[in-house]
Structure 1
């Protein structure tokens, strides 16, 4: 879908006379029921394919209705108009749209507007107001901080090397520059008890809410092969509190909601994020609290005693992988040396950085599985001896078995990657049966189907 050029946007607050207000193409109009006539009418522009979108910005009367016609002889379309040329725009969660031919233009009428605030936009095919299908992504939370990502907005095209000059990315990846003209993103977080998700699900309604917490950092991050995302590190949230989060794109497109719960006041693990060699690592890890002024770990604050061994492992693995004639011979019709390296990197980072977690705040129901949590521990971490000792007690959630299985499937046999069997001892070191069923060779059918859902539940760590 094309994004409308920023230069075309214009926010207009107008007071109406009894005559119809003209709506121009590719212009955003914002109205308040207190400043318009009781039943305003708008003149629509000419277009072979015209799209009209409506967004309700404040709760109004239940009888509010929008009617559109592409018959210029009908200057005041409405419910009482008896003709097939009048169409009511249905509203769902505060959003509605109509698309049709309007070679001579048309009219849009509003009935029972009351004190409702709303937005109107007309375009040639592109939908202006939209509830995006992709959701924001929760990285993780601590007792006061949250790491949240926007939906992916731009993919990265990579060119494969060719034999004999076949190279793979280095252990410490160099992050490419983000797109030159990214969308404008904003984040809104509010306690779930505020009822934010029960109001109109439109950008103008959500962005009128005062967002909780303070933004420590906001940057673009290439987290995985899904593409670029906007990344927020938020502080100042309340421990043990349920929150609702939305991401707004270009002021008119809404993504969400997602839900999450802050950890308890005693939770001590800091967040680790923005590591070029582990781009998907974005969660709390059992580490000593970083030195002030830092409140979380990134590539500039993570100790070299942790990063250097991981970089050496990745370098050694890549050297071994390149003993195979990558680019000349095929070991799989589906996998390449690049996909093998990517899968191994994901496994290495997930296994090397244990994810701190807490039991669910209430006992799970019989239909809800228990997360793959290890018992509380303190001191050294047996899974990664390079992590320094901590003085607090913590729990971790096991990596998903599928992270190991992905590396097993993607890599050549001579590398000897083997994963524990679900029928025997896999559950002692991995979360089993959440994404896949656990049956040997069967993909899918797990108890949750995902490692993490939009409600903030984390069943196993997929990185």
Structure 2
């Protein structure tokens, strides 16, 4: 069929009609109702922070549909001239995470909450790590050997960012650089459901899910996960991956078993600079000693070695880096949350168990050396003293770092702090004494390396007065020694010196260490197990400070060493009643003989006399069987205690000779 030929006027009219029809169709498709729907959806996703509450109240069948929707592409607002790679995609019911900023959330049982760490954050600017520390920290890391045994290795922690990297991890990071920047994700469960009645164990844990493509990963949506689901361990979970785009995270709560009620509260953060929260599966805190109401702790040396006096001084000026928390053993509120900084911090009752802390350069052993071969150093470390403890009780202590040690996340206007969520170290347990006549003293002026429990009587002296009494006596005896050593030609030629290996300074130091160790004996409960044969009963002729009589055997009563103390001042002035002494180690006596001039007449006893006054080190290195300055308790071990130091010692007869000199 042939169409009629149109005149020029008719042709222009037809073109106008066709153009009008096209405009009508465009108007229909681009109706304002559609624009309003898209804007409203974006507003809900980006601004309404209560959408998770609507999700929690939705019927189960609707939730299933929503989960299916999350896995599908769904509707996404498009903007002419703007690429989707720039605007990004945010899944329904997900919160956006900002680099090094914590997000806090309550989560009910059976639900999942989702987050997105957007491409703009992944490829964004790094956060300033702050001032850092005066030196790197020497941390321990456990390594499992091929035979199944564990070894402890040293790791260096970067100055202030908290990242522990060994050679293998560093090489792995280099291999993954082509996959994009590293993204560090960490989560702390701060609170959890509580039991309604008497139950054993702890409630089930949260689980973390991570994906690069699944916008709403979780317990009901495990497609395209970058790693298997990550269950929380002790209230802590973390994962590091490389990415060049969005990273999607889901935190799922399990269904709650009977006899539990409540929900979980957690803190989550993502970072391109380092983990925001951390848990270290190794000890950096050690128990020094306890009495019946307090305990003393100390960290490892903060400087890498003993040849950095300037750095030691910087640490003293820097001040306390760590904090410490303590709880009765099996304390219910933190059961199952032992690796979570925020859980430990929120549960600690500082009013009931006050902790004092400060820096010290007291003599302690170098890290990771066997007890019999350790080198003692005066490097800077931090110490803690905690009060308010109950006698004959077991406690758990946690070393922690608030924020990154210099700044806490909420302390800055935008909240951006690398490592601002805090760190926690593996817990240690300790036991308080029973009898009440041993008192922990420390920070003495003259005997500055003394830090342990000594014979005491709380009704006569407090800790400060007791420390001053012991310290003043030792200082007066040392003054007599300095008069004797002044008679020796110390500053002379090598051929005229009394020794080519030792100097008068060596003699003076060894004598001071010995004097403080034997004049200020280390005290243990008289009720300690008789199986601990290295403990020497003392002062059994007096009643206990509560007025009761000791139950001593006839053989012990005949031994003079049992009926009196090593230092007469203890029996005549302090009057602690019966106690047991951890005898000083015999090697200190040998140190004085080796270091000092022969004309001073120093000598060590032998045979029964040596055994009566001094102890020997445990060849197996398992128990601290004699006392020495700088000793700390690595961990409890039945009745015995592991040691990590070396010390000094001499006999009572030698003491009388030297004090007279």
TM-score by length of 1: 0.70
Shift of 1:316: 6.6
- Structure 1 distance, partners of 2:482, 2:588, is 15
Shift of 1:138: 2.6
The aligned residue for residue 347 of structure 2 is 209
- Please list the CA deviations of residues 340-396 of structure 1 after superposition, one character each: whole Å capped at 9, or x if unmatched: 8766654442222101111566676xxxx5553334446896534565633331323
Residues 206 and 231 in structure 2, CA contact (< 8 A), matched pair in contact too: no
The aligned residue for residue 169 of structure 1 is none
Shift of 1:119: 2.2
The aligned residue for residue 273 of structure 1 is 442
The aligned residue for residue 308 of structure 1 is 476
- Please list the CA deviations of residues 158-187 of structure 1 after superposition, one character each: whole Å capped at 9, or x if unmatched: 6699xxxxxxxxxxxxx9675444455433
- Please list the CA deviations of residues 269-326 of structure 1 after superposition, one character each: whole Å capped at 9, or x if unmatched: 433211143333222222555877x444477676633433246647977997965889
Please, what is the CA RMSD of the aligned residues?
A: 4.6
The aligned residue for residue 229 of structure 1 is 382
- 1:349 is aligned, of 516, 533, 545, to 516
Residues 146 and 233 in structure 1, CA contact (< 8 A), matched pair in contact too: yes
- Please list the CA deviations of residues 371-425 of structure 1 after superposition, one character each: whole Å capped at 9, or x if unmatched: 533344468965345656333313233345376289479958979987677x876
The aligned residue for residue 67 of structure 1 is 209
Unpaired runs of at least 5, structure 2: 1-48, 53-91, 124-180, 194-202, 256-262, 364-377, 404-421, 543-562, 626-630, 648-661
Q: Secondary structure at the match of 2:455?
A: coil
Within-5 A mapping of 1:128-139: 128-131=277-280, 133-139=282-288
The aligned residue for residue 111 of structure 1 is 252
Shift of 1:427: 3.5
Question: Aligned pair 1:22/2:85, yes or no?
Answer: no
Cα gap change, 1:316 to 1:248, in 2 (>3 Å): farther
Q: Secondary structure at the match of 1:204?
A: helix
Question: Aligned pair 1:448/2:521, yes or no?
Answer: no
- Structure 2 distance, partners of 1:409, 1:123, is 59
The aligned residue for residue 249 of structure 1 is 401
The aligned residue for residue 122 of structure 2 is 46
- Structure 1 distance, partners of 2:475, 2:208, is 58
Residues 370 and 459 in structure 1, CA contact (< 8 A), matched pair in contact too: no
Shift of 1:49: 1.9
More displaced, 109-118 or 406-415? Answer: 406-415
Residues 319 and 358 in structure 2, CA contact (< 8 A), matched pair in contact too: no
Q: Secondary structure at the match of 1:117?
A: strand
- Structure 1 distance, partners of 2:336, 2:318, is 32
Within-5 A mapping of 1:7-406: 17=52, 18-34=92-108, 38-44=111-117, 45-46=121-122, 48-59=181-192, 62=204, 64-69=206-211, 71=212, 73-78=213-218, 80-83=221-224, 85-112=226-253, 115-124=263-272, 126-127=274-275, 128-131=277-280, 133-143=282-292, 145-152=293-300, 154-155=302-303, 178-182=315-319, 184-192=321-329, 194-195=331-332, 198-201=335-338, 202-211=340-349, 213-215=352-354, 217-224=356-363, 225=378, 227-234=380-387, 236-250=388-402, 252-264=422-434, 266-287=435-456, 289=458, 294-297=462-465, 304-310=472-478, 313=481, 345-359=512-526, 370-377=533-540, 383-385=566-568, 389-399=573-583, 401=585, 404=588
Cα gap change, 1:239 to 1:188, in 2 (>3 Å): same
Shift of 1:129: 1.7
More displaced, 176-185 or 94-103? Answer: 176-185
Q: Secondary structure at the match of 2:214?
A: coil
Between structure 1 and structure 2, the one with the greater Rg is 2
- Structure 2 distance, partners of 1:296, 1:55, is 40
Considering fraction of residues, name the structure with more strand.
1
The aligned residue for residue 144 of structure 2 is none
Shift of 1:155: 2.4
Cα gap change, 1:33 to 1:78, in 2 (>3 Å): closer
Q: Secondary structure at the match of 1:238?
A: coil
Shift of 1:259: 2.6
Residues 30 and 117 in structure 1, CA contact (< 8 A), matched pair in contact too: yes
- Structure 2 distance, partners of 1:76, 1:153, is 46
Shift of 1:258: 2.7
- Structure 2 distance, partners of 1:255, 1:15, is 35
Cα gap change, 1:315 to 1:181, in 2 (>3 Å): farther
Q: Secondary structure at the match of 1:305?
A: helix
TM-score by length of 2: 0.51
Cα gap change, 1:55 to 1:240, in 2 (>3 Å): same
Q: Secondary structure at the match of 2:516?
A: helix
Q: Secondary structure at the match of 2:575?
A: strand
Shift of 1:109: 1.0
